[in-house]
Amino acid sequence: MARSAIQFQRGLSLAEFQRLYGTEEQCQAALEKARWPDGFRCPRCGGHEHGVVHGRRLKRYQCRSCGHQATLTAGTIMQATKLPLTTWFQAFYLIGQAKTGISSLELSRHLGVKYDTAWLLHNKILRAMSEREDAYVLRGKIQMDDAYLGGERTGGKVGRGSENKIPIVAAVSLNEAGHPIHAKITPVIGLRDLGGLQP
């Protein structure tokens, strides 16, 4: 399935956010556009022709070719959610705009939901963001290298075997001119994790 992403313009004000995504209908329309930018596409057979069935909460799209019913949230992190889409969108906005991060507690206060609910939302959204990050970094021309962070303590072993150092993999994607455009640093358990990437 194609990856769908809800992205807000950088620096979108809260007032503007509320104007654009303040209602369930607006959020549904935005989600529909993100999932099917060229119109409905059946996840099972790829058909375009569809009817709409109005369910208790979200409307269902029924494929005219194979009869498959799809909801807007099926296959997304919002699948089977009991929360309104507006709550999810507010969480996307708050997490996306927080420059230094936001705690689950703050999120629960802003969204008016229980801490447990906010914690779950927070974790699902952060995981989805990091998966997108992974997908991004794997595109284009990539340079990878192993490196170590830390290990400044004296008396320990030096280099690869040092017990104080955390092995990391640094991956950098390059543009046409060979300039780095995106970097990602991932801690690894051991250098064997690098597998065939070692020279």
- Under a CB-based contact definition with an 8 Å cutoff, are residues 63 and 49 in contact? yes
Which residue, 47 or 75, is less far from Zn ion as judged by CB?
47
Instruction: Please tell me whether residue 53 binds Zn ion under the rule CB under 5 A.
Output: no
Instruction: Please tell me whether residue 42 binds Zn ion under the rule CB under 5 A.
Output: yes
Least separation in angstroms between CB 52 and Zn ion: 14
Least separation in angstroms between CB 47 and Zn ion: 4
Instruction: Please tell me whether residue 63 binds Zn ion under the rule CB under 5 A.
Output: yes
Cβ neighbour number for residue 171 with a 10 Å cutoff: 18
Per rule CB under 5 A, count of chain residues that contact Zn ion? 8
Which two structure tokens, joined as six digits, stand for 96? 């996306």
- Under a CB-based contact definition with an 8 Å cutoff, are residues 157 and 191 in contact? no
Which residue, 65 or 103, is less far from Zn ion as judged by CB?
65
Q: Would you list the DSSP string of 32-76?
A: HHHH-TTS---TTT----EEEEE-SSSEEEEETTT--EEESSTTS
Instruction: Tell me the C-alpha distance between 2 and 36, whole Å.
Output: 9
Q: Which stretch binds Zn ion (CB under 5 A): 57-65, 77-85, 111-119, 142-150?
A: 57-65
Sheet holding 180-187, edge to edge: 141-150, 165-174, 180-187
Which residue, 45 or 105, is less far from Zn ion as judged by CB?
45
Instruction: Tell me the C-alpha distance between 28 and 26, whole Å.
Output: 5
Least separation in angstroms between CB 77 and Zn ion: 23
Which two structure tokens, joined as six digits, stand for 80? 């089977």
Instruction: Please tell me whether residue 65 binds Zn ion under the rule CB under 5 A.
Output: yes
Which residue, 30 or 42, is less far from Zn ion as judged by CB?
42
Binding mask 134-153 for Zn ion (x = CB under 5 A): --------------------
Which residue, 62 or 104, is less far from Zn ion as judged by CB?
62
Helix orientation angle between 24-35 and 14-21, rounded to the nearest 10 degrees = 80
Which two structure tokens, joined as six digits, stand for 57? 């909460």
Instruction: Please tell me whether residue 68 binds Zn ion under the rule CB under 5 A.
Output: yes
Instruction: Please tell me whether residue 64 binds Zn ion under the rule CB under 5 A.
Output: no
- Residue from 19, 33, 44, 109 touching Zn ion (CB under 5 A): that is 44
Binding site for Zn ion (CB under 5 A): 42, 44-45, 47, 63, 65-66, 68
